[in-house]
């Protein structure tokens, strides 16, 4: 079937009744009285006599003119015919966020799958690709030109992401598919603004529903106890209530600090925060809300954060400086001062024997030939030691030599003040400081500097940086030296091996639940929770379709204009018309 | 008879004052009548001899010549012509074609002939051919006194002429004013008309619409006599065909007139009534100024 790119041209069909009117008026017989019909006997009558009702006389010329009008109107309407039998590339962008699961069996995901299946079966596309729109665009399976295979690929669409960056995914789809490809974005909400790109269609299968969700959940260690914060939101336009159930894995004291299931009434769009206190290191805490439209955000698991205190050996001989460092280190909760198997050595000795091969060193150098520097200070902001530093107005007393081993981290002009030597992951830091010529130790920059050092060292120690991550986030595990591979078991109990690089491995939390990690003899675990208010908010979910592939810009790729054929036919008809008129004139 | 026709008669009568009926050529004045015809006839004026042919009147054999030459010859005498005009007016409906000056011209021409006859010293009588050929009331008087004129006959005047032949005066002149637009062989009518006539004048009076067919386009033609309708598409070709048919029709009449010894003149009504200049009749030596 031809497609018309300019259907407005069919208004010109009004010329048809105009033509009929012209013929009717022209062929309407005028009555003339003549003396006799004797001399008109040679003329053929327009019709045989005897009819009481005369129908419109339609000579051949009329039909030719009518045909010409129809051909010209159709040509003006921009008829396009499909060029060839080959299909057109299709890239389907799938909203991979967990809001697509809302509605259970009648979820946006299920409805979208049925619609995509119908589209694939009803039209010829070659090839078909799927792009998952999550935190970042991701290809789903291989490119296929088989409809059945494409439909089977859809079964791998899981909708586990906390965000769906559809715009990025659509842009990626255009890159992937090329200029001829059609792009179909499937989601549960309307586009922010309708695209002008005629190759894009946007299908939404969502529906606005009431949903209670955990929008925040955290567990922190403080003062020998674990503090738990839960934030529950009613993400709907009407008030309602849900039940909260909190459970603990602590076999010894299952109900310690745990409240009974309770009803949580919440107004429309309101949120409620619940704070709990647990014993330090208490096992996993599980909180669950009552069933509603979206299940994935109705439960959270909070694991205890691992204790990652850094053992610091202070070997500072200068008493004021030692007191300064000691006070600052003790103020950090992640540090313990001990000379036994230290992980960090802070010293002002020029040479210090460090037994632990993994221990880091901060060497404070107080040179005699020193000067006070007011700046300008050049700070390597990418270095972990400089996070949060603000050296404006600080007087830094330091040696004047331009020589200092290691990569400069902070310099006063071309005078290095802090340098870092990386020895295969073991860092040696050199800090040039004359406290008597400085105000650095009297400014907030000093505890920041020491805290940065301790925190940096703590993060480099084996173990998980975070025991609780948000769904879609990354859990980073630092492993013992010599570990080259870790075994990860996801919440669905699927195991996989991940290689270790630079003593660390990053695990993406793409499912809600507890991940277990084995690294040689060490065991670790972290929990992933769906805590994304925007995704849990189903108020803006809607259904609809936007965009039209069958417009002029899109048609030009797979359709070819046949207007020239119609124009050619019109010219032929006009030529026949002219010939008939000429022949009649000759007669 | 309506006043309109009366006014046409007066108009024609006035126009005819300028004309006199032309005498037939080669007619002697010394005859029993006032005019002699061109043909051999029964008058007393000797014209010629010719060999006897079976069927000739034995009374015309010149016995003296037979005695001298032993050869039968007959004497020929000039035909005697009566100074009378029988005027036959076509009374069919086509003579009063609507939107034309045909009726005005026909009545006027009849009046012209009557007055011209009077001017030439002829008596006259007017006839009207309708379902039968009947004399017009007061047709022997001045045209303005004629009565019961009308063009309402829906048939063929030739048939009426054949069916009820008028009692024309023998050896008189006869003039017929008609559009001649009927089917049939014209010679039959003309022979009836010419029988016993000294001369015959046929005036074909056509309307401008008869000469020039309707404008182009689809036209429903209505026969003014039979009301028969015919819907046709008129274009240049149709106009050409019509004019050809009219020309053939007129040629047939001209040919028949020649055979019957009649004089035929074609006139157009609208041109006649425009100024009553009857040049065509003068040229044909039917009238003289």
pLDDT for residue A489? 92
Per mean pLDDT, which range of A524-538, B15-29, B88-102 is the poorest?
Answer: B15-29
Q: Is residue B175 part of a domain?
A: yes
Q: Do B60 and B90 belong together in one domain?
A: no
- Indicate whether B26 pLDDT > 50: no
Test B230 with A45 for CB contact under 8 angstroms: yes
Q: Do B161 and B115 belong together in one domain?
A: yes
* Confidence tier at A254 by pLDDT (50, 70, 90): very low
Q: Do A155 and A291 belong together in one domain?
A: no
pLDDT for residue B52? 84
pLDDT for residue A369? 86
Per mean pLDDT, which range of A198-212, A304-318, A571-585, B17-31 is the poorest?
Answer: B17-31
To the nearest whole Å, the CA of B155 is away from the closest chain A CA by 11
For position A94, which CATH number holds? 3.40.50.410
Q: Do B233 and B141 belong together in one domain?
A: yes
Q: Do B39 and B175 belong together in one domain?
A: no
Q: Is residue B29 part of a domain?
A: no
Q: Do A447 and A487 belong together in one domain?
A: no
Interface residue of A32, A36, A49, A582 to substitute, partner B, most B CBs within 10 Å: A36
Q: Which domain holds residue B102?
A: 3-24+83-288
Q: Is residue A296 part of a domain?
A: yes
Q: Do B56 and B123 belong together in one domain?
A: no
pLDDT for residue B216? 77
For position A259, which CATH number holds? 2.60.40.2360
Q: Do A229 and A348 belong together in one domain?
A: no
Q: Do A191 and A259 belong together in one domain?
A: no
- Indicate whether B85 pLDDT > 60: yes
CA nearest to A33 within chain B = B222
3-state secondary structure of A257: coil
Cβ atoms of residues A396 and A379 within 8 Å: no
Q: Do A317 and A455 belong together in one domain?
A: yes
Interface residue of B102, B158, B221, B252 to substitute, partner A, most A CBs within 10 Å: B221
Q: Is residue A422 part of a domain?
A: yes
CA nearest to A50 within chain B = B229
β-strand pairing of A360-365 with A377-379:
unpaired
Report which of B201, B147, B136, B202 is spatially closest to residue B172, judged by C-alpha positions. Answer: B201
CA nearest to A30 within chain B = B219
Q: Do B73 and B210 belong together in one domain?
A: no
CA nearest to A27 within chain B = B218
Q: Do A444 and A369 belong together in one domain?
A: yes
Q: Do B92 and B210 belong together in one domain?
A: yes
Q: Which of A122-126, A257-261, A341-345, B194-198 is modeled with the greatest confidence?
A: A341-345
Q: Is residue B152 part of a domain?
A: yes
Domain limit, last residue, from A438, A459, A480: A459
Cβ atoms of residues A308 and A463 within 8 Å: yes
pLDDT for residue B31? 33
Q: Do B67 and B97 belong together in one domain?
A: no
> What does the pLDDT average to over A274-303?
86
Element holding A546 (H helix, E strand): strand A543-546
DSSP structure class, residue A501: B
DSSP string computed for B239-259: HHHHHHHHHHHHHHHHHHHHH
CA dist A411 and A74 (Å) reads: 77
> What does the pLDDT average to over A312-317?
86
Classify the C-alpha dihedral B264-B265-B270-B275 as positive or negative. negative
Q: Is residue B113 part of a domain?
A: yes
Cβ atoms of residues B19 and B112 within 8 Å: yes
pLDDT for residue A130? 93
Q: How far is CA A215 from CA A135, A152, A162, A240, in A?
A: 18, 34, 11, 17
3-state secondary structure of A124: coil
Test B224 with A585 for CB contact under 8 angstroms: no
Element holding B8 (H helix, E strand): helix B3-16
Q: Do A436 and A317 belong together in one domain?
A: yes
Q: Is residue A37 part of a domain?
A: no
To the nearest 10 degrees (0 to 180), the angle between helices B186-194 and B236-260 is 30
Region class of B217: left (phi > 0), else alpha (psi between -120 and 50), else beta = left
Q: Do A229 and A135 belong together in one domain?
A: no
On chain B, the residues whose CB falls within 8 A of the CB of A43 are 230, 232, 234, 238, 241-242
Terminal CA-to-CA distance of chain A, rounded, Å?
Answer: 43
CA atoms within 13 A on the CB side of A424: 4
CA atoms within 13 A on the CB side of A61: 14
pLDDT for residue A200? 87
> What does the pLDDT average to over A454-462?
85
Domain limit, last residue, from A435, A459, A483: A459
CA dist B225 and B219 (Å) reads: 18
To the nearest whole Å, the CA of A22 is away from the closest chain B CA by 12
Percentage with pLDDT > 90 across chain B? 6
pLDDT for residue A352? 65
Domain limit, last residue, from B48, B81, B114: B81
Contacts for A412 with CB less than 8 Å, ≥ 6 apart: A373, A375, A376, A377, A378, A396, A398
Percentage with pLDDT > 90 across chain A? 13
* Confidence tier at A321 by pLDDT (50, 70, 90): confident
Per mean pLDDT, which range of A271-275, A416-420, B162-166, B208-212 is the poorest?
Answer: B162-166
> What does the pLDDT average to over B61-89?
80
Q: What are phi and psi for residue B36, nearest 5 degrees?
A: -115, 150
Region class of B45: left (phi > 0), else alpha (psi between -120 and 50), else beta = beta
pLDDT for residue B98? 84
pLDDT for residue A534? 84
Count of domains observed in chain B: 2
> What does the pLDDT average to over A405-426?
87
> What does the pLDDT average to over A66-86?
83
Q: Do B64 and B167 belong together in one domain?
A: no
- Indicate whether A574 pLDDT > 90: yes
Q: Is residue B30 part of a domain?
A: no
Q: Determine the length of chain B.
A: 289
Count of domains observed in chain A: 4
Test A35 with B210 for CB contact under 8 angstroms: yes
Q: Is residue A417 part of a domain?
A: yes
What pTM was computed for the model? Answer: 0.51
Q: Is residue A200 part of a domain?
A: yes
Taking residue A552's Cβ as centre, other Cβ atoms within 10 Å add up to 15
For B145-158, how does the pLDDT look when each residue is reduced to its tens digit (9 = 90+)?
888 888 888 888 88
pLDDT for residue A556? 62
Test A46 with B98 for CB contact under 8 angstroms: no
Q: Do A179 and A265 belong together in one domain?
A: no
Q: Do B43 and B170 belong together in one domain?
A: no
Is the CB of B223 inside 8 Å of chain A's CB atoms? yes
CA nearest to B221 within chain A = A32
* Confidence tier at B195 by pLDDT (50, 70, 90): confident
Domain limit, last residue, from A420, A437, A459: A459
Test B237 with A587 for CB contact under 8 angstroms: yes
Test A42 with B245 for CB contact under 8 angstroms: yes
Contacts for B78 with CB less than 8 Å, ≥ 6 apart: B27, B28, B31, B36, B37, B40, B41, B43, B45, B46, B47
Q: Do A279 and A364 belong together in one domain?
A: no
Q: What share of chain A is helix, strand, coil (3-state, %, to 5)?
A: 25, 35, 40
Q: Is residue A34 part of a domain?
A: no
To the nearest 10 degrees (0 to 180), the angle between helices A445-459 and A319-331 is 60
CA dist A230 and A271 (Å) reads: 10
pLDDT for residue A114? 92
* Strand ranges in B148-286 using DSSP code E only, listed in sequence order: 173-178, 199-206, 217-223, 229-234, 262-268
Q: Do B74 and B143 belong together in one domain?
A: no
Q: Do A335 and A421 belong together in one domain?
A: yes
pLDDT for residue A55? 46
CA dist A313 and A307 (Å) reads: 19
Q: Do A154 and A237 belong together in one domain?
A: no
How far from chain centre, in Å, is Cα A578? 66
Is the CB of B118 inside 8 Å of chain A's CB atoms? no
Test B181 with A40 for CB contact under 8 angstroms: no
Q: Is residue A355 part of a domain?
A: yes
Region class of A528: left (phi > 0), else alpha (psi between -120 and 50), else beta = beta
Q: What are phi and psi for residue B70, nearest 5 degrees?
A: 55, 35
Q: Do B132 and B220 belong together in one domain?
A: yes
Per mean pLDDT, which range of A212-216, A281-285, B92-96 is the poorest?
Answer: A281-285
CA atoms within 13 A on the CB side of A197: 17
For position A435, which CATH number holds? 3.40.50.880
Cβ atoms of residues B109 and B10 within 8 Å: no
Interface residue of A22, A33, A54 to substitute, partner B, most B CBs within 10 Å: A33
pLDDT for residue A569? 94
Q: Which domain holds residue A127?
A: 88-208+540-549
């Amino acid at each position: 079937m031809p497609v018309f790119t300019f259907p407005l041209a069919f208004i010109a069909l009004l010329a048809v009744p105009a033509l009929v009117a012209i013929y009717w008026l022209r062929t309407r017989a005028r009555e003339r009285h003549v003396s006799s019909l004797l001399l008109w006997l040679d003329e053929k009558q327009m019709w045989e006599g005897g009819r009481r009702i005369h129908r419109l006389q339609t000579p051949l010329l009329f039909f030719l003119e009518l045909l010409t009008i129809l051909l010209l109107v159709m040509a003006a309407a921009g008829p396009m015919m499909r060029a060839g039998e080959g299909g057109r590339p299709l890239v389907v962008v799938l909203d991979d966020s967990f809001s697509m699961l809302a509605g259970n069996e009648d979820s946006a995901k299920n409805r979208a799958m049925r619609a995509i299946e119908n589209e694939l079966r009803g039209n010829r596309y070659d090839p078909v690709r799927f792009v998952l729109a999550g935190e970042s665009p991701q290809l789903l399976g291989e490119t296929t030109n088989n409809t059945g295979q494409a439909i089977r690929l859809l079964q791998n669409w899981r909708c586990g992401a906390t965000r769906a960056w559809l715009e990025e995914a659509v842009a990626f789809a255009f890159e992937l598919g090329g200029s001829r490809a059609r792009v179909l974005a499937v989601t549960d909400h309307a586009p922010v603004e309708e695209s002008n790109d005629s190759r894009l269609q946007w299908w939404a299968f969502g529906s606005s529903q009431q949903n209670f969700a955990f929008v925040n959940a955290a567990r922190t260690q403080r003062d020998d106890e674990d503090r738990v914060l839960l934030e529950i939101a009613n993400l709907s336009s009407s008030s309602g209530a849900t039940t909260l159930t909190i459970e603990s894995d602590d076999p010894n004291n299952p109900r310690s600090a745990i409240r009974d299931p309770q009803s949580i009434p919440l107004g429309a769009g309101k949120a409620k925060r619940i704070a709990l206190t647990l014993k330090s290191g208490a096992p996993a805490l599980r909180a669950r809300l009552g069933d509603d439209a979206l299940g994935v955000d109705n439960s959270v698991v909070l694991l205890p954060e691992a204790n990652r205190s850094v053992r610091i050996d202070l070997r500072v001989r200068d008493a004021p400086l030692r007191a300064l460092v000691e006070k600052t280190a003790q103020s950090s909760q992640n540090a313990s001062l001990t000379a036994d198997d230290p992980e960090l050595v802070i010293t002002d000795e020029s040479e210090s024997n460090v037994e632990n091969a993994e221990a880091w060193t901060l060497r404070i150098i107080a040179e005699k030939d020193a000067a006070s520097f007011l700046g300008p200070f050049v700070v390597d902001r990418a270095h972990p030691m400089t996070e949060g530093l603000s050296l404006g107005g600080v007087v830094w007393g330091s040696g004047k030599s331009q020589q200092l081993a290691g990569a400069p981290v902070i310099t006063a002009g071309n005078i290095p003040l802090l340098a870092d030597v990386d020895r295969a992951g073991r860092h040696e830091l050199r800090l040039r400081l004359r406290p008597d010529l400085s105000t650095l130790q009297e400014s907030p920059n000093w505890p920041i500097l020491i805290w940065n050092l301790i925190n940096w060292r703590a993060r480099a120690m084996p173990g998980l940086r975070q025991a609780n991550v948000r769904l879609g986030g990354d859990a980073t595990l630092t492993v013992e030296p010599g570990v080259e591979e870790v075994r990860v078991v996801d919440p669905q109990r699927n195991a996989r091996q991940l290689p270790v690089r630079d003593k660390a491995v990053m695990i993406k939390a793409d499912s809600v639940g507890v991940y277990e990690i084995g690294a040689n003899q060490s065991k670790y675990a972290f929990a992933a929770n769906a805590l994304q208010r925007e995704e849990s908010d189903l108020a803006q979910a809607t259904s609809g379709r936007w965009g039209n592939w069958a417009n002029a810009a899109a048609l030009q790729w797979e359709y070819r204009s046949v207007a020239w054929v119609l124009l050619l036919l019109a010219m032929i008809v006009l030529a026949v018309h002219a010939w008939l008129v000429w022949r009649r004139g000759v007669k | 008879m309506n006043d309109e026709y009366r006014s046409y008669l007066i108009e024609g009568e006035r126009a005819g004052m300028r004309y006199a009926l032309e005498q037939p050529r080669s007619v002697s004045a010394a005859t029993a009548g006032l005019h002699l015809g061109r043909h051999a006839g029964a008058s007393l004026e000797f014209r010629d001899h010719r060999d006897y042919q079976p069927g000739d009147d034995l009374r015309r054999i010149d016995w003296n010549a037979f005695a001298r030459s032993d050869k039968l010859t007959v004497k020929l005498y000039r035909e005697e012509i009566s100074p009378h005009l029988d005027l036959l007016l076509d009374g069919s409906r086509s003579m009063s074609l609507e939107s034309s000056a045909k009726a005005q011209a026909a009545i006027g021409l009849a009046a012209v002939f009557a007055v011209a006859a009077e001017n030439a010293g002829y008596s006259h009588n007017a006839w009207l051919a309708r379902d039968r050929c009947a004399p017009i009331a007061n047709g022997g008087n001045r045209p303005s006194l004629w009565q019961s004129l009308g063009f309402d006959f829906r048939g063929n005047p030739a048939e009426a002429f054949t069916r009820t032949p008028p009692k024309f005066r023998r050896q008189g002149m006869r003039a017929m004013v008609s559009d001649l637009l009927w089917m049939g062989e014209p010679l039959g009518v003309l022979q009836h008309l010419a029988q016993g006539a000294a001369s015959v004048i046929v005036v074909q009076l056509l309307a401008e619409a008869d000469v020039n067919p309707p404008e182009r386009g689809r036209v429903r033609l209505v026969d003014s006599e039979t009301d028969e309708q015919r819907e046709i598409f008129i274009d240049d070709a149709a106009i050409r065909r019509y004019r050809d048919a009219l020309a053939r029709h007129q040629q047939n009449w001209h040919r028949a007139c020649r055979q019957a010894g009649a004089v035929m003149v074609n006139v157009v009504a609208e041109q006649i009534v425009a100024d009553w200049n009857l040049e065509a009749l003068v040229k044909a030596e039917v009238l003289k100024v």
